[in-house]
Amino acid sequence: MSETGWRPWLPEAVAAFLVLAVGLTETFLTATVFAAPDGLMFANRLAFEGVAQALVVALAVGLCRRAPGVALALVWGLGLYHVTLDAPIMVAEFALTAVFFGGARWGRPPTVVMSAVSVPLAVVVAFFMHEGRVLTLQLLLGGSKLGGILSLHPTVQLVLSLVGLLAVAAPWPAGLVMRFLERATDSRAAMLAAEEDAAGARRATEHAREIAQLRDQQTRLARDVHDVVGHSLAVILAQAESGQYLDENERLKKTLRTIAISARSSLQDVRQVLSTTQDTAPETGDAGQLDGLIEGVRGSGHQIIATELGTPRALPRETATVAYRVLQEMLTNAIKHGRRDQPITAERHWPSGPAGGGFADTLRIEVTNTRAADGSGSGAGRGLEGMRRRLETINGHLDVRSREQAAGTTFTVTAYLPLLGGS
């Protein structure tokens, strides 16, 4: 075993060595003194028994911390030896109180119970069954006045026995108290560690939430800028393209005025989005806001057929925002990817009650355009994904489909917006 491996055992090893030294010294003195009157054979027996007892006691003391159960078993074995052979008790055996302490301090629950039972049994064996037959004490007190007092006064012997009882019994409750104090300390340390872990987890959760909020704001900002700029630029582009073919000054001025208004409105919207990171769509459910989008496309020179079925109603704030942005993106895509010689159709179907064809309490917005000859407007892209995400925030959904017709391939985008909670 390495030097590091021995260090944990060093205190127990020192204690065991001291107990062994005391036991061997006691054995030598006892065997030497009692050899004269009783003979050499008796002295040899005392020496043999003393050495064996000293070794057992030293081993038990050495194991009282690392193996308290084994140490307690050695104590019981030594007690049976005294009871069975009526062997005298050595002073060194009082060191076995360390085993009682170790059983209560470090033992498992069964060991704690057995060590508690061992204390009164050890007292009975040591002070009553042997009537104080501790040979070393007899040697030290023999022939003295104190020895005479002890032999003549049983009361004094009883008092001394009670004192010995306290000396033997005290280590066990002391070990139990230290055991509970250690557990209390460990529990407090564990509680503090758990609180620290919980605080760390809360900090990590808050950090993750902040990151998620920042990413959500970035996504919303990008989506808003895309919608505002994309729609305005599409209108401006359409006006600019139509202006190439205008001969009349008034019509040209009107087109340029529309371009200026669209550019100014787009610039204001972008500034507001960048300064507040909030949606710039109208917060009310006024249907006129949706009509304004349609009129803006019509003013850009595109032919647009607008249809509104059912009874319009005020929209909840969030639904109004989503409806405005979704229709804005639908019209933007229709302008960018549709043919200019084919009209754009924009339909709004308001719910008409339970008989509304399965769309009760749902606003259906549908925009259809004829795809350009280059095949653009196939349904893929950031705009459609942005519309889907907006609709999902209010439990709505988006439907995209195309159909072959004589005039070309039509591209239809339909948005379904639940109106529950609207007034």
pLDDT digits (tens, 9 = 90+) for 375-395: 554 445 567 888 888 898 889
- Give the pLDDT mean for 185-207: 84
pTM: 0.44
Give the range with max mean pLDDT: 143-147, 321-325, 368-372. Answer: 321-325
In the predicted model, is pLDDT for residue 278 greater than 60?
A: no
Which runs of E-coded beta strand occur in 222-320? 304-309
pLDDT digits (tens, 9 = 90+) for 94-134: 888 889 888 888 888 888 888 888 887 776 766 555 544 55
* Residue 141 pLDDT level (bands cut at 50, 70, 90): very low
Domains of the chain (ranges, CATH numbers): 3-169 (no CATH), 283-423 (3.30.565.10)
d(CA 410, CA 362): 24
- Give the pLDDT mean for 249-263: 67
Q: Dihedral through CA 148, CA 153, CA 158, CA 159, nearest 10?
A: -80
d(CA 414, CA 391): 11
| DSSP letter for each residue of 230-256 | HHHHHHHHHHHHHHTT--SHHHHHHHH
* Residue 346 pLDDT level (bands cut at 50, 70, 90): very high
What pLDDT is attached to residue 230? Answer: 64
What pLDDT is attached to residue 149? Answer: 44
What pLDDT is attached to residue 349? Answer: 93
Q: Which one has a higher pLDDT value, 293 or 163?
A: 293
Q: How far is CA 286 from CA 273, 278, 289, 390, 391, in A?
A: 21, 20, 6, 19, 19
Name which of 91, 111, 55, 61 is nearest 164 in CA terms: 91
Q: Are strands 397-405 and 304-309 parallel, antiparallel or unpaired?
A: unpaired
In the predicted model, is pLDDT for residue 181 greater than 80?
A: yes
In the predicted model, is pLDDT for residue 142 greater than 50?
A: no
pLDDT digits (tens, 9 = 90+) for 11-29: 888 888 998 898 888 888 7
